[in-house]
Amino acid sequence: MDLEGNLLLVTIEGIDGSGKSTLLSALKSQLADLDPIFTREPGATWVGEAVRRAIAEQIDPITEASLFVADHAAHLSTLVRPALSQGRLVISDRYSDSRFAYQSVTLKGIVPDPEGWLRAMHDGWSITPDRTFLLVLSIDDALARLSDKSGREHFEKREVLEAVQNNYLAYARAEPLRFVIVDAALEKEVISKFVADGIRLVVKMGKEGRKR
Protein backbone atom coordinates (compact mmCIF):
# COMPACT_ATOMS: atom_id res chain seq x y z
CA MET A 1 0.00 0.00 0.00
CA ASP A 2 2.97 2.30 0.52
CA LEU A 3 3.39 3.78 -2.92
CA GLU A 4 4.84 7.06 -1.77
CA GLY A 5 8.07 6.45 -3.67
CA ASN A 6 6.19 6.09 -6.92
CA LEU A 7 5.54 9.72 -7.68
CA LEU A 8 1.80 9.66 -8.07
CA LEU A 9 0.47 12.39 -5.80
CA VAL A 10 0.63 15.83 -7.36
CA THR A 11 -0.72 18.97 -5.71
CA ILE A 12 -1.50 22.41 -7.04
CA GLU A 13 -1.11 25.29 -4.61
CA GLY A 14 -1.28 29.07 -4.68
CA ILE A 15 -3.02 32.03 -3.12
CA ASP A 16 -6.63 32.92 -3.92
CA GLY A 17 -6.74 34.50 -7.36
CA SER A 18 -3.62 32.69 -8.59
CA GLY A 19 -5.57 30.89 -11.33
CA LYS A 20 -5.74 27.37 -9.95
CA SER A 21 -9.28 26.76 -11.19
CA THR A 22 -8.42 27.76 -14.76
CA LEU A 23 -5.31 25.58 -14.65
CA LEU A 24 -7.18 22.60 -13.24
CA SER A 25 -9.84 22.68 -15.91
CA ALA A 26 -7.17 22.83 -18.65
CA LEU A 27 -5.29 19.90 -17.08
CA LYS A 28 -8.46 17.80 -17.09
CA SER A 29 -8.48 17.77 -20.86
CA GLN A 30 -4.73 17.87 -21.44
CA LEU A 31 -4.01 14.90 -19.16
CA ALA A 32 -7.14 12.84 -19.93
CA ASP A 33 -5.04 10.01 -21.41
CA LEU A 34 -3.37 9.46 -18.00
CA ASP A 35 -6.82 8.97 -16.43
CA PRO A 36 -5.93 10.94 -13.29
CA ILE A 37 -8.18 11.36 -10.28
CA PHE A 38 -8.78 15.07 -9.81
CA THR A 39 -9.66 16.04 -6.30
CA ARG A 40 -9.54 19.01 -3.95
CA GLU A 41 -9.28 20.35 -0.43
CA PRO A 42 -11.47 21.42 1.16
CA GLY A 43 -14.51 19.52 0.07
CA ALA A 44 -13.67 16.12 -1.39
CA THR A 45 -15.92 14.58 1.29
CA TRP A 46 -18.92 15.81 3.32
CA VAL A 47 -16.52 17.13 5.99
CA GLY A 48 -15.87 19.93 3.51
CA GLU A 49 -19.39 21.22 4.14
CA ALA A 50 -18.45 21.83 7.76
CA VAL A 51 -15.31 23.63 6.58
CA ARG A 52 -17.32 25.89 4.25
CA ARG A 53 -19.69 26.73 7.08
CA ALA A 54 -16.76 27.49 9.40
CA ILE A 55 -15.28 29.84 6.78
CA ALA A 56 -18.61 31.56 6.13
CA GLU A 57 -19.38 32.05 9.84
CA GLN A 58 -15.83 33.12 10.66
CA ILE A 59 -15.72 30.70 13.51
CA ASP A 60 -12.69 30.82 15.83
CA PRO A 61 -9.41 30.01 14.07
CA ILE A 62 -8.63 26.86 16.07
CA THR A 63 -11.99 25.32 15.17
CA GLU A 64 -11.50 26.31 11.55
CA ALA A 65 -7.97 24.89 11.40
CA SER A 66 -9.09 21.64 13.06
CA LEU A 67 -11.90 21.25 10.53
CA PHE A 68 -9.45 21.73 7.64
CA VAL A 69 -7.30 18.96 9.16
CA ALA A 70 -10.37 16.74 9.63
CA ASP A 71 -11.27 17.34 5.99
CA HIS A 72 -7.73 16.28 5.02
CA ALA A 73 -7.99 13.07 7.09
CA ALA A 74 -11.31 12.18 5.46
CA HIS A 75 -9.90 13.03 2.03
CA LEU A 76 -6.91 10.75 2.57
CA SER A 77 -8.86 7.82 3.91
CA THR A 78 -11.75 7.87 1.46
CA LEU A 79 -10.05 9.01 -1.72
CA VAL A 80 -6.28 9.58 -1.79
CA ARG A 81 -5.05 6.36 -0.15
CA PRO A 82 -7.42 4.07 -2.08
CA ALA A 83 -6.49 5.78 -5.36
CA LEU A 84 -2.75 5.59 -4.71
CA SER A 85 -3.05 1.96 -3.70
CA GLN A 86 -4.57 1.27 -7.14
CA GLY A 87 -1.58 2.98 -8.74
CA ARG A 88 -3.68 5.94 -9.93
CA LEU A 89 -2.31 9.39 -10.47
CA VAL A 90 -3.95 11.79 -8.00
CA ILE A 91 -3.98 15.53 -8.67
CA SER A 92 -5.25 17.62 -5.78
CA ASP A 93 -6.34 21.25 -5.99
CA ARG A 94 -4.89 22.39 -2.62
CA TYR A 95 -3.59 19.99 -0.01
CA SER A 96 -1.59 20.16 3.25
CA ASP A 97 0.62 23.09 2.16
CA SER A 98 -2.57 25.20 2.07
CA ARG A 99 -3.01 24.47 5.76
CA PHE A 100 0.58 25.30 6.61
CA ALA A 101 0.51 28.49 4.54
CA TYR A 102 -2.96 29.84 5.47
CA GLN A 103 -3.52 28.59 9.02
CA SER A 104 -0.02 29.72 10.07
CA VAL A 105 -1.44 33.18 9.38
CA THR A 106 -4.90 32.75 10.92
CA LEU A 107 -3.47 31.11 14.07
CA LYS A 108 -0.81 33.75 14.66
CA GLY A 109 -1.07 34.98 18.24
CA ILE A 110 -3.61 32.27 19.01
CA VAL A 111 -1.32 29.27 19.40
CA PRO A 112 2.36 29.79 20.28
CA ASP A 113 3.93 28.18 17.20
CA PRO A 114 1.23 27.92 14.52
CA GLU A 115 3.32 26.19 11.87
CA GLY A 116 4.79 23.71 14.35
CA TRP A 117 1.29 23.02 15.69
CA LEU A 118 -0.07 22.46 12.19
CA ARG A 119 2.80 20.23 11.08
CA ALA A 120 2.50 18.17 14.27
CA MET A 121 -1.22 17.72 13.47
CA HIS A 122 -0.20 16.02 10.20
CA ASP A 123 2.78 14.05 11.47
CA GLY A 124 2.78 10.29 11.15
CA TRP A 125 -0.37 9.80 9.08
CA SER A 126 -0.51 12.31 6.25
CA ILE A 127 1.13 11.69 2.87
CA THR A 128 3.60 14.21 1.49
CA PRO A 129 2.97 15.01 -2.18
CA ASP A 130 5.51 13.82 -4.71
CA ARG A 131 5.38 17.09 -6.62
CA THR A 132 3.76 20.42 -5.82
CA PHE A 133 3.18 23.10 -8.43
CA LEU A 134 3.01 26.50 -6.75
CA LEU A 135 1.33 29.29 -8.71
CA VAL A 136 2.94 32.59 -7.80
CA LEU A 137 1.83 36.07 -8.83
CA SER A 138 1.85 39.59 -7.47
CA ILE A 139 -0.67 40.34 -4.74
CA ASP A 140 -2.03 43.22 -6.87
CA ASP A 141 -2.75 40.84 -9.74
CA ALA A 142 -4.36 38.31 -7.40
CA LEU A 143 -6.57 40.96 -5.83
CA ALA A 144 -7.54 42.30 -9.26
CA ARG A 145 -8.65 38.81 -10.30
CA LEU A 146 -10.66 38.44 -7.10
CA SER A 147 -12.26 41.88 -7.23
CA ASP A 148 -15.21 40.88 -9.38
CA LYS A 149 -16.20 38.18 -6.89
CA SER A 150 -18.78 39.35 -4.40
CA GLY A 151 -18.38 38.62 -0.70
CA ARG A 152 -14.70 38.00 -0.13
CA GLU A 153 -13.66 35.31 2.30
CA HIS A 154 -11.50 36.50 5.19
CA PHE A 155 -8.49 34.83 3.54
CA GLU A 156 -8.74 37.13 0.55
CA LYS A 157 -7.36 40.28 2.16
CA ARG A 158 -4.08 41.82 1.01
CA GLU A 159 -2.15 41.25 4.27
CA VAL A 160 -3.34 37.66 4.49
CA LEU A 161 -2.53 36.84 0.86
CA GLU A 162 0.89 38.45 1.19
CA ALA A 163 1.74 36.45 4.30
CA VAL A 164 0.33 33.23 2.80
CA GLN A 165 2.37 33.63 -0.39
CA ASN A 166 5.53 34.32 1.65
CA ASN A 167 4.90 31.12 3.58
CA TYR A 168 4.47 29.14 0.36
CA LEU A 169 7.72 30.58 -1.02
CA ALA A 170 9.57 29.63 2.16
CA TYR A 171 8.31 26.04 1.81
CA ALA A 172 9.43 25.99 -1.82
CA ARG A 173 12.89 27.15 -0.78
CA ALA A 174 13.03 24.50 1.93
CA GLU A 175 11.95 21.69 -0.42
CA PRO A 176 13.25 22.58 -3.88
CA LEU A 177 12.94 19.02 -5.17
CA ARG A 178 9.24 18.78 -4.41
CA PHE A 179 8.13 22.29 -5.35
CA VAL A 180 7.95 23.69 -8.85
CA ILE A 181 7.28 27.42 -8.93
CA VAL A 182 5.00 28.52 -11.74
CA ASP A 183 4.78 32.12 -12.92
CA ALA A 184 1.02 32.63 -12.73
CA ALA A 185 1.23 35.89 -14.70
CA LEU A 186 2.03 33.98 -17.90
CA GLU A 187 -0.58 33.14 -20.55
CA LYS A 188 -2.90 30.43 -19.31
CA GLU A 189 -2.01 28.12 -22.22
CA VAL A 190 1.70 28.43 -21.38
CA ILE A 191 1.03 27.66 -17.73
CA SER A 192 -1.11 24.62 -18.41
CA LYS A 193 1.37 23.17 -20.92
CA PHE A 194 4.26 23.70 -18.49
CA VAL A 195 2.40 22.00 -15.64
CA ALA A 196 1.00 19.19 -17.83
CA ASP A 197 4.51 18.44 -19.14
CA GLY A 198 5.83 18.51 -15.58
CA ILE A 199 3.18 16.05 -14.44
CA ARG A 200 3.94 13.69 -17.34
CA LEU A 201 7.57 13.72 -16.27
CA VAL A 202 6.60 12.90 -12.70
CA VAL A 203 4.50 9.96 -13.90
CA LYS A 204 7.33 8.69 -16.11
CA MET A 205 9.79 8.86 -13.23
CA GLY A 206 7.28 7.05 -11.02
CA LYS A 207 6.90 4.22 -13.54
CA GLU A 208 10.66 3.89 -13.92
CA GLY A 209 10.93 3.83 -10.12
CA ARG A 210 8.46 0.92 -10.00
CA LYS A 211 10.43 -1.11 -12.56
CA ARG A 212 13.57 -0.98 -10.44
Nearest to 41 by CA among 19, 87, 9, 74: 74
3-state SS class at 146 = helix
Edge-to-edge strand list for the sheet holding 131-136? 37-40, 90-93, 9-14, 131-136, 179-183
Q: Which stretch binds ligand TYD (CB under 6 A): 15-23, 121-129, 172-180, 199-207?
A: 15-23
Instruction: Report the Cα 70 to chain-centroid distance in Å.
Output: 15
Question: Does 115 contact ligand TYD by CB under 6 A?
Answer: no
b/e per residue 35-65 (b: at least 16 CB within 10 A): ebbbbbbbbbbebbebbeebbeeeeebeebb
Question: Cβ(192)–Cβ(91) under 8 Å?
Answer: no
CB of 105 to ligand TYD, least distance (A): 8
* 153 forms part of the interface with ligand TYD (CB under 6 A): yes
Considering only 6, 9, 13, 16, the residue that binds ligand TYD (CB under 6 A) is: 16
Q: Does 98 bind ligand TYD (CB under 6 A)?
A: yes
Q: How far is the CB of 16 from ligand TYD (least distance, A)?
A: 5
CB of 157 to ligand TYD, least distance (A): 10
Instruction: Tell whether residue 42 is a contact of ligand TYD (CB under 6 A).
Output: yes
Site size for ligand TYD (CB under 6 A):
13
Select the residue interacting with ligand TYD from 37, 62, 128, 155 (CB under 6 A): 155
Task: Answer yes or no whether residue 171 interacts with ligand TYD by CB under 6 A.
Answer: no
What's the min distance (Å) between Cβ of 32 and ligand TYD? 22
The reply on whether position 68 binds ligand TYD by CB under 6 A is: yes
Residue ranges of E strands in the chain? 9-14, 37-40, 90-93, 131-136, 179-183
